[in-house]
Amino acid sequence: MTRHGSAAEESTFVRTYTLTRGRTRPRHLLGLDTVLEAGPGRPGPAQAEEYGEILALCRARRRSVTELAGRLGRPVTAVKVLVSDLLDADALVVPLTGPYADTGKGSGPSTQLLAALSAGLKRKWPDAIAYPQAG
């Protein structure tokens, strides 16, 4: 058994490295469950075919980063880099959904958003001290 991977594995690695131009970190903070949809912008003319595939998938319906990686057969990290490029070009957007969307009742955050934020913070730091004057 050799220490190196097969030619197919090396080819996939080189293609992924080339696709992301050696970048390993996306410019945007993206979770595995970040949902994306097609936006009004367009990627540059010399972009790889994967950009078009991502856009086609997101035009059909909203997709998560994980789903895009699975459908493209690419590592999640590489897909995050590509998605970041498309977010920069406004070709993809992260939509606000459900209770987090603007209800039109005011310019501030919704009660549901604040409740979800509070619950998340309490789970993360259950021993934190509450400050009543904080709001």
Same-domain status, 80 and 104: no
Same-domain status, 13 and 56: yes
Cβ atoms 47, 84 nearer than 8 A: no
| CA gap 111, 100 in Å, rounded | 9
Same-domain status, 102 and 42: no
Q: State pTM to two decimals.
A: 0.62
Same-domain status, 74 and 114: no
1 lies in some domain: no
Q: What are phi and psi of 92, to 5 degrees?
A: -125, 150
pLDDT at 1 over 50: no
Mean pLDDT of 16-27: 74
- Full domain range(s) for residue 124: 98-134
User: Residue 2 — pLDDT band, cuts 50, 70, 90?
Assistant: very low
The pLDDT of residue 129: 72
Same-domain status, 65 and 18: yes
Q: Counting runs of H as helices and runs of E as strands, what totals does the chain give? A: 5, 3
**Domain total for the chain?**
2
Same-domain status, 11 and 29: yes
Same-domain status, 63 and 32: yes
Contacts with 117 (C-beta within 8 Å, 6 or more apart), sequence order: none
User: pLDDT tens digits, residue range 41-69?
Assistant: 887 776 778 899 999 999 999 999 999 99
2 lies in some domain: no
The pLDDT of residue 111: 73
pLDDT at 31 over 70: yes
User: pLDDT tens digits, residue range 83-131?
Assistant: 999 999 999 999 876 555 555 555 566 677 777 777 778 887 888 776 6
The pLDDT of residue 12: 55
